[in-house]
Amino acid sequence: MQIEPPYALFLGDAPDQLAAKTADGIAAWRPDWCLGQIRLPDCKADLKIAELTVEEAAAKGAKTLIVGVVNRGGIIGGAWLATILKAMDLGMDVAAGLHQRLADVPEIAAHAKKLGRKIFDVRHPPQHFAVASGKPRSGHRLLAVGTDCSVGKMYTALALEKEMLARGMKADFRATGQTGIFIAGGGVSVDAVVADFISGAVEWLTPANEADHWDVVEGQGSLFHASYAGVSLGLLHGAQPDALVLCHDPVRDHMRGLPDYRPPNIKPCMEMNLACARVVNPRAQFVGICLNTSAMAADAAAVLKADLAKTFGLPCVDPLKDGVGAVVDRLAVL
Amino acid sequence: MQIEPPYALFLGDAPDQLAAKTADGIAAWRPDWCLGQIRLPDCKADLKIAELTVEEAAAKGAKTLIVGVVNRGGIIGGAWLATILKAMDLGMDVAAGLHQRLADVPEIAAHAKKLGRKIFDVRHPPQHFAVASGKPRSGHRLLAVGTDCSVGKMYTALALEKEMLARGMKADFRATGQTGIFIAGGGVSVDAVVADFISGAVEWLTPANEADHWDVVEGQGSLFHASYAGVSLGLLHGAQPDALVLCHDPVRDHMRGLPDYRPPNIKPCMEMNLACARVVNPRAQFVGICLNTSAMAADAAAVLKADLAKTFGLPCVDPLKDGVGAVVDRLAVL
């Protein structure tokens, strides 16, 4: 699976900005790949990039229409169909990360077949994976783990890749969720893999590489999340990380989707991740803490970061405000 | 999914006794449900139960033909087809736990449809599960966990159910793997569930119950198994156990399927399981250690059991030799 850029980002009839979160992430991290946005008349989301019709996107050379919007239930909206079919008419492949597959919509499947276009349903891994071998492999791997879902693991991993590449290091962001897959042009939606093969899928995603190469792996969920911890542990084992970064949202008062669960403290969360990681890689260690401080006052955030840095002897940054240079510095001494 | 007994156990052309392990387990734990074995001429396995033709099984009232044999690749053998179709002709449903689905063999699917017979592919959960809620629920749950795969978790859980029922306690064995599902007549093959729904599937399998009822849940894999730990953690969280039993094979020198991995020591394995279990149930505790001492001399086994019992302050037994009464005693004081 390799999704070909450049992209046209289709926002459909997104009822609000959050519904276009996927497209937002792609535009933020791969601006060069994004020719513009295509919106239906009642779309309430706006990426503040070039406004295109599907014809204009095709004329500009778009290779893939990305359905960068979600709706209730993850169903492919009837209002979207005309744009999707038109994009294929004009030469584009189509990619989506919804629960419902593009390939399961008869008109889309038939049209793709007739025209020879590719359909990417990135939530549904197209290949079968082997059971994980647990064998050591060459190259380094860094994994962003979290105290909870949606605490900035993907953004942290992408910021790390960007910083590493800027320094001339060999690095590849490895995507494990839908938005990440569009940003990387490929990857595996690990939460959609059959349970027996979670770790095997991640071993496939992060194969042996040059000795000085880093795979920067997007984490999912949290070992402390009562719904998704199995995914997180399988991912941790499959990634066999040398370096771990803990991602945390300091103002969250309950686990995402679980009103009765408080997020874990940072210390036990790091200890649990480390104990599990060392089952497959005895050299695993934390190299930094990344906070999402967007909801905190600047002085409170500064105090917290200094406090955590001192407590754990690790750089503690907000990737979007401070950059991740201090974390990357740590990789040099591993 | 409720597989209807009594069963006829079909061993096909099993090349050795191990290939009929599934049928072996069913005959051992549900002898009353098993009318006999049906074997092809070159079958090398023998359950030492009544030898039947498929016609004799039908005449005795068999409701379901259980394909209790595996072959390389988990494919439904051509030599088996005649027996399977004949069983359906004679009124039986058919159940199998192979990778390949009975329902994907055109002759079998067509025959079942024509005759109105049920097909159970227990490795492939037929229903969709919800994401786990993590909410506390009434009733007690016990989970058998392990240092490795295939260390006696199913046998331990079944021995516990049997002992509890013999004492007049309310208990149900809850199956999470193929053989267990045939023994229980239902369950979920958790390793075949989509990763996002592992814990949700186990919550479904072990729902709220009477306050003095115990679900005795079959564990899978190990938190220390580099291939399957994600399944084990999702199962642990979904089961939300009050009581844990650690299952261990003292003579194993490497993790199953992973020649370079040594099994964990008992102490860190218990600590890790407890730390993870307490994320969803702060009252979780170990109530016993169950060893498979079949490969040990009796005196060495006795020394080891006494040593572990003292070290951990828990009953330590070989379920098949000592029974599990000492473990069940512990449940009364939880």
Residues of chain A positioned with their CB less than 8 A from the CB of B200: 227
Question: B73: pLDDT confidence band, cut at 50, 70 and 90?
Answer: low
Cα nearest neighbour of A282 on chain B:
B261
Q: Which helix (H) or strand (E) holds B183?
A: helix B178-184
The string of pLDDT tens digits covering residues B134-165 is: 999 999 999 999 999 999 999 999 999 999 99
Cα nearest neighbour of B225 on chain A:
A279
Residues of chain B positioned with their CB less than 8 A from the CB of A192: 194-196
Residue extents of the structural domains in chain A? 7-121, 140-331
> Model-level pTM?
0.96
Cα nearest neighbour of B195 on chain A:
A195
Residue A320 makes CB contacts below 8 A (sequence gap 6+) with A155, A159, A292, A294
- Contact state of A227 with B272 under an 8 Å Cβ cutoff: no
Pairing of strands B140-146, A213-217: unpaired
The string of pLDDT tens digits covering residues A208-228 is: 999 999 999 999 999 999 999
Pair of tokens at residue A239: 């990634």
Per-residue model confidence (pLDDT) at position B332: 84
Integer Cα distance of B200 and B248 in angstroms: 27
Please provide the size of chain A in residues.
334
Q: Are A15 and A70 in contact (CB under 8 A)?
A: no
Pair of tokens at residue B151: 């260390």
Residue B53 makes CB contacts below 8 A (sequence gap 6+) with B38
- Contact state of A195 with B198 under an 8 Å Cβ cutoff: yes
Integer Cα distance of A72 and A41 in angstroms: 19
Integer Cα distance of B243 and B176 in angstroms: 17
- Contact state of B131 with A257 under an 8 Å Cβ cutoff: yes
Strands of A243-248's sheet in order across: A170-174, A213-217, A140-146, A243-248, A285-291, A316-317
The string of pLDDT tens digits covering residues B186-234 is: 999 999 999 999 999 999 999 999 999 999 999 999 999 999 999 999 9
Residues of chain A positioned with their CB less than 8 A from the CB of B264: 279
Residues of chain A positioned with their CB less than 8 A from the CB of B254: none
Integer Cα distance of B179 and B209 in angstroms: 24
**Virtual torsion, Cα B9, B14, B20, B22, nearest 10 deg:** -70
Class of domain B140-331: alpha beta
Ranges of residues in chain A with a pLDDT under 50 are none
Integer Cα distance of A242 and A265 in angstroms: 23
Mean pLDDT of B311-326: 98
Cα separation values, A212 from A167, A324, A331, B300, Å: 13, 19, 11, 49
Probe site for chain A from B279, B280, B281 (most A CB atoms < 10 A): B279
Pair of tokens at residue A248: 């945390």
Per-residue model confidence (pLDDT) at position A73: 65
Q: Which helix (H) or strand (E) holds B94?
A: strand B93-96
Beta bridge partners of A288: A245
Cα nearest neighbour of A264 on chain B:
B279
Integer Cα distance of B142 and B171 in angstroms: 10
- Contact state of B194 with A194 under an 8 Å Cβ cutoff: yes
Interface of B with A (CB under 8 A): 131-135, 190-196, 198-200, 223-224, 226-235, 237, 257-258, 260-261, 264, 268, 272, 275-276, 279-280
B326: closest CA of chain A, how far (Å): 31
- Contact state of A234 with B196 under an 8 Å Cβ cutoff: no
Task: Give the nearest partner residue to B279 out of A224, A231, A237, using CB atoms.
Answer: A224
Residues of chain B positioned with their CB less than 8 A from the CB of A135: 260
Task: Give the nearest partner residue to B199 out of A193, A230, A264, using CB atoms.
Answer: A230
Integer Cα distance of B125 and B95 in angstroms: 13
Per-residue model confidence (pLDDT) at position B141: 98
Q: Are A103 and A119 in contact (CB under 8 A)?
A: yes
Q: Are B121 and B103 in contact (CB under 8 A)?
A: yes
Integer Cα distance of A65 and A88 in angstroms: 8
CA nearest to B285, candidates B168, B141, B171, B159: B141
Mean pLDDT for all residues in chain B: 96
The string of pLDDT tens digits covering residues B168-186 is: 999 999 999 999 999 999 9
Integer Cα distance of B48 and A35 in angstroms: 71
Mean pLDDT of B34-57: 97
Secondary structure E strands in chain A: 7-12, 34-39, 64-67, 93-96, 119-121, 140-146, 170-174, 213-217, 243-248, 285-291, 316-317
Probe site for chain B from A265, A279, A280 (most B CB atoms < 10 A): A279
A-to-B residue pairs, Cβ atoms closer than 8 angstroms: 132
- Contact state of B195 with A195 under an 8 Å Cβ cutoff: yes
Q: What is the DSSP string of A271-282?
A: HHHHHHHHHH-T
Which one is predicted more confidently, B77 or A239?
Answer: A239
Per DSSP, B123 falls in state T
The arrangement of secondary structure in A7-121, i.e. its CATH architecture, is 3-Layer(aba) Sandwich (3.40)
Residues of chain B positioned with their CB less than 8 A from the CB of A269: none
Residues of chain A positioned with their CB less than 8 A from the CB of B257: 131
Task: Kindly provide the b/e burial profile for residues B51-75, where b requires at least 16 CB atoms within 10 angstroms of the residue's own CB.
Answer: ebebeebbeeebbbbbbbbbbeeee
Q: Write B49-58 long-range contacts (CB < 8 A, 24+).
A: B49/B9, B52/B8, B54/B8, B54/B83, B54/B86, B54/B87, B54/B90, B55/B86, B55/B90, B57/B8, B57/B87, B57/B90, B57/B92, B58/B8, B58/B87, B58/B90, B58/B91, B58/B92
Cα nearest neighbour of A275 on chain B:
B272
Per-residue model confidence (pLDDT) at position B159: 98
B145: closest CA of chain A, how far (Å): 15
Task: Give the nearest partner residue to B190 out of A195, A258, A280, using CB atoms.
Answer: A195
Please provide the size of chain B in residues.
334
Per-residue model confidence (pLDDT) at position B1: 78
Interface of A with B (CB under 8 A): 131-135, 190-196, 198-200, 223-224, 226-235, 237, 257-258, 260-261, 264, 268, 272, 275-276, 279-280
